[in-house]
Chain A
Amino acid sequence: MKKLVATDSLCTGCGKCTEACSKAYYKVQDKNLACLRVSENPDGTFHVEVCDQCGECAAVCNTNVIRQDKFGVFRLSKKECAGCLMCVGYCPKDVMVQSDDHLEPSKCVACGLCVKACPTGALSITDR
Chain B
Amino acid sequence: MICIKNIKPYEQIEQEEIERLKAAHVLRARLQYEKKPLFRGYTDKLLYVDLADSKIRIDDIPGQVKEKFIGGKGYCLRYLWDAVTPETRWNSPENAIVMSAGPIGGITQYPGAGKTLVCTISPTTDIPIDSNVGGYFGPFLKFSGFDALELIGKADKDVIIFIDGNKGTISIEEAPLEAGDAHILCEQLTLMYSDDEADRKNVAVVTAGSAADHVNISMLNFSFYDPNRKVVRLKQAGRGGIGRVFRDKRIRALVCKFSGIKADLNKPHNMSILNKTGLKFHREMHDLDGKQNNMRKIGTANIIEVMDAYDLLPTHNFKFGSHKDIDKIKSTVFIEKYLTQGAPDGCWYGCSMACAKAADHFLLKSGPYKGQRVCVDGPEYENAAGLGSNCGVMDAEAILELNFYCDTYGIDTISYGTCTAFAMECYENGILNKERTGGLELTFGNIEADFELIHQMGRGEGFGVIVGMGVKKMKEYFIKKFGADPAFLNDIGMEQKGLEYSEYLSKESLAQQGGYGLTNKGPQHDEAWLIFMDQVNNQIPTFEDKAEALHYFPMFRTWFGLMGLCKLPWNDIVPADNSKTAEPAKVPEHVQNYLDVYEAVTGTKITVDEMIKQSERVYNFQRIFNIRMGKGLRVNDASPYRAMGPVTEEEYLSREERYDKQLRELQGLDPEKMTLREKMDSTRRYRYEQYNRMTDAVYKRRGWTQNGVPTPEKLKELEMELPELLEVVNQVLSN
Q: Which of A19-27, A45-53, A60-68 contacts B (4 or more CB under 8 A)?
A: A60-68
B307 at the interface (CB under 8 A from A): no
**Bound complex: CA A83 to CA B344 (Å):** 15
Chain B residue nearest to A80 (CB atoms) is B198
Pairs A–B under 8 Å by Cβ, sample size 27: A59-B342, A59-B344, A60-B352, A61-B344, A62-B344, A62-B349, A62-B351, A63-B349, A64-B227, A64-B228, A82-B262, A82-B263, A82-B349, A83-B109, A84-B109, A84-B350, A85-B109, A85-B275, A85-B279, A86-B344, A86-B352, A88-B282, A89-B282, A89-B286, A98-B275, A103-B262, A103-B263
Known: A82-B261, A83-B263, A89-B283. A62 touches B108 (CB 8 A): no
**Bound complex: CA A61 to CA B227 (Å):** 10
Within 8 A of A (CB), among B349-366: 349-352, 354
- Which residues from A are CB-within-8-Å of B349? 62-63, 82, 84
What is the distance, in angstroms, from B597's C-beta to the closest C-beta of chain A? 13
Chain B residue nearest to A79 (CB atoms) is B260
Chain A residue nearest to B107 (CB atoms) is A84
B599 at the interface (CB under 8 A from A): no
Chain B residue nearest to A99 (CB atoms) is B275
Chain B CB count within 10 A is highest, among A61, A84, A98, A103, for A84
Number of chain B residues whose Cβ lies closer than 8 Å to a Cβ of chain A? 30
Chain A residue nearest to B226 (CB atoms) is A62
Within 8 A of B (CB), among A12-67: 59-64
Chain B residue nearest to A94 (CB atoms) is B283
| Secondary structure class of chain B's binding surface, majority of residues | loop
**Bound complex: CA A63 to CA B343 (Å):** 11
Q: Verify B350–A86 contact, CB threshold 8 A.
A: yes
Q: Verify A89–B285 contact, CB threshold 8 A.
A: yes
What is the distance, in angstroms, from B8's C-beta to the closest C-beta of chain A? 16
What is the distance, in angstroms, from B4's C-beta to the closest C-beta of chain A? 8
B201 at the interface (CB under 8 A from A): yes
What is the distance, in angstroms, from A67's C-beta to the closest C-beta of chain B? 11
**Bound complex: CA A21 to CA B352 (Å):** 28
- Which residues from A are CB-within-8-Å of B275? 85, 98, 100
- Which residues from B are CB-within-8-Å of A89? 278-279, 281-283, 285-286, 352
Q: Verify B263–A84 contact, CB threshold 8 A.
A: yes
Q: Verify B278–A84 contact, CB threshold 8 A.
A: yes
**Bound complex: CA A127 to CA B201 (Å):** 34
Within 8 A of A (CB), among B255-294: 261-264, 271-272, 275, 278-279, 281-283, 285-286
Known: A62-B351, A82-B261. A90 touches B286 (CB 8 A): yes
What is the distance, in angstroms, from B575's C-beta to the closest C-beta of chain A? 14
- Which residues from B are CB-within-8-Å of A59? 4, 342, 344
B346 at the interface (CB under 8 A from A): yes
Q: Verify B282–A85 contact, CB threshold 8 A.
A: yes
**Bound complex: CA A63 to CA B354 (Å):** 12
**Bound complex: CA A62 to CA B343 (Å):** 8
Within 8 A of A (CB), among B317-358: 342, 344-346, 349-352, 354
Known: A90-B282, A103-B262, A103-B264. A85 touches B350 (CB 8 A): yes
What is the distance, in angstroms, from B140's C-beta to the closest C-beta of chain A? 13
Chain B CB count within 10 A is highest, among A61, A83, A98, for A83
Which 3 pairs across A and B sit closest by C-beta, in order of nearness?
Answer: A89-B282, A84-B350, A83-B263
What is the distance, in angstroms, from B104's C-beta to the closest C-beta of chain A? 14
Chain A CB count within 10 A is highest, among B4, B108, B271, for B108
